[in-house]
């Protein structure tokens, strides 16, 4: 698919705005919208329960969507559909059998969704060690290894920073943690939409991601659970679909990953996520990454020409995703974002990006940063318009 064909698949772009905020949520292509509408127009039945034909078809489509996600990421285990990456991480936080004195190792690079669930466990006597990173997001693997001791039950790290775009060496981290007997959770919210992710090669126990950031519908995400650790988890909630039999004094729970999807799920969302995976597969993740890095290189070259600007994150393109955060001297990030929207109809993200520790303590940016995040539908022409408006802001503010 060429760039024009891709852009034509996103009706949102016909409104004329420039969308540089895919790190928050992506736009949705027509095939995904069609999949959602098709479910509601032709089926609109529940899954896993009814014996009628519409329920059979809905169940088939919903289960096939799980399998599409599993194969796309090459996961040897269970795929659980969630409402977002945050819920997926919380399923693990609530599912592991913790005891006082257990330890979790994480980093300053993390989004709050991969910090707050662990901090909350301190109330149960769990120690949380947060490892510092460099200003470009680099994690010292030797220091990480030192932090993992015989009390460490879990290492929880991001695959790619939502602020810096830094790609974290999760395969190396998993190997280090496994040798020391710790489980590994990876927050893949910013990596799954943009990189070719092979879960079998990474070898992690848990991988959480946002479906809505990878062209899927709002309210979708997924959690991969490695088969080897499935039985070490208890479900966060129970209800319809959790049991095969219930007596007053005995519950016979279902086997496998479906126990983590109690109640009627977001069926249309799940089917839409399957369609999103089909769309990404059609384009190819290598092509997506190449396109985004071309945009990043071009944007960074243009930004460097602006006085008073600081570009955050790795300088080497191969170490980053399509995220570029920057700061401009004497102009708060929120002010930049508001003016870009008002003057140019350009959408970016500003502030601490739910990564307070990173922005304040590592980057020393009390007001956060301005963030551009690209995806498959963005172009160099859009960057040129963005730079024109940004230069006008710097000149007049």
Angle, alpha carbons 146-231-84 (nearest 5°): 75
Which residues are identified as catalytic?
354
CA distance 277 to 287: 15
CA distance 142 to 235: 34
CA distance 148 to 145: 5
CB 219, CB 270: distance < 8 Å? no
Contacts of residues 259-264 at CB distance under 8 Å and 24 or more positions apart, as own/partner, are 259/235, 260/78, 260/80, 260/91, 260/95, 260/223, 260/225, 260/233, 260/235, 260/236, 261/80, 261/81, 262/235, 262/237, 262/238, 263/237, 263/239, 264/46, 264/47, 264/240
Nearest to 255 by CA among 245, 265, 267, 269: 245
């Amino acid at each position: 698919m060429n760039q024009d064909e891709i852009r034509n698949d996103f009706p949102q772009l016909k409104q004329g705005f420039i969308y540089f905020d895919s790190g928050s949520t992506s736009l949705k292509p027509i095939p995904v919208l069609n999949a959602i509408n098709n479910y509601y127009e032709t089926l609109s039945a529940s899954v896993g329960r009814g014996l009628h034909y519409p329920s059979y078809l809905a169940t088939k489509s919903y289960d096939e969507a799980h399998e599409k996600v599993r194969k796309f990421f090459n996961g040897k285990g269970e795929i659980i559909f969630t409402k977002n990456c945050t819920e997926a991480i919380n399923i693990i936080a609530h599912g592991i059998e913790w005891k006082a004195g257990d330890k979790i190792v994480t980093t300053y690079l993390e989004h709050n969704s991969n910090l707050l669930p662990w901090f909350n466990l301190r109330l149960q006597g769990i120690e949380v060690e947060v490892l510092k990173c460099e200003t470009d997001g680099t994690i010292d693997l030797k220091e990480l290894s030192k932090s993992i001791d015989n009390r460490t039950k879990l290492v929880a790290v991001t695959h790619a920073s939502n602020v810096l775009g830094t790609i974290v060496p999760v395969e190396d981290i998993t190997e280090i943690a496994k040798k020391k007997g710790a489980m590994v959770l990876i927050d893949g919210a910013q990596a799954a939409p943009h990189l070719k992710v092979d879960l079998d090669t990474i070898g992690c126990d848990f991988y959480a991601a946002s479906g809505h950031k990878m062209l899927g519908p709002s309210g979708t995400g997924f959690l991969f659970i490695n088969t080897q650790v499935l039985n070490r988890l208890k479900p966060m909630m129970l209800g319809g679909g959790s049991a095969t039999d219930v007596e007053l004094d005995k519950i016979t729970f279902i086997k496998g990953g479906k126990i983590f999807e109690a109640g009627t799920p977001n069926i249309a969302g799940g089917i839409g996520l399957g369609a999103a995976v089909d769309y990404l597969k059609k384009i190819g993740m290598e092509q997506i990454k190449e396109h985004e890095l071309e945009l990043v290189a071009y944007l960074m070259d243009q930004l460097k020409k602006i006085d008073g600007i600081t570009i955050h994150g790795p300088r080497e393109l191969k170490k980053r995703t399509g995220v570029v955060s920057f700061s401009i001297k004497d102009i708060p990030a929120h002010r930049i974002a508001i003016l870009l929207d008002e003057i140019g109809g350009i959408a970016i993200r500003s502030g601490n990006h739910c990564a307070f520790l990173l922005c304040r303590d590592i980057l020393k940016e009390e007001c956060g940063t301005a963030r551009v995040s690209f995806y498959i539908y963005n172009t160099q022409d859009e960057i040129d318009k963005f730079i024109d408006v940004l230069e006008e802001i710097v000149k007049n503010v």
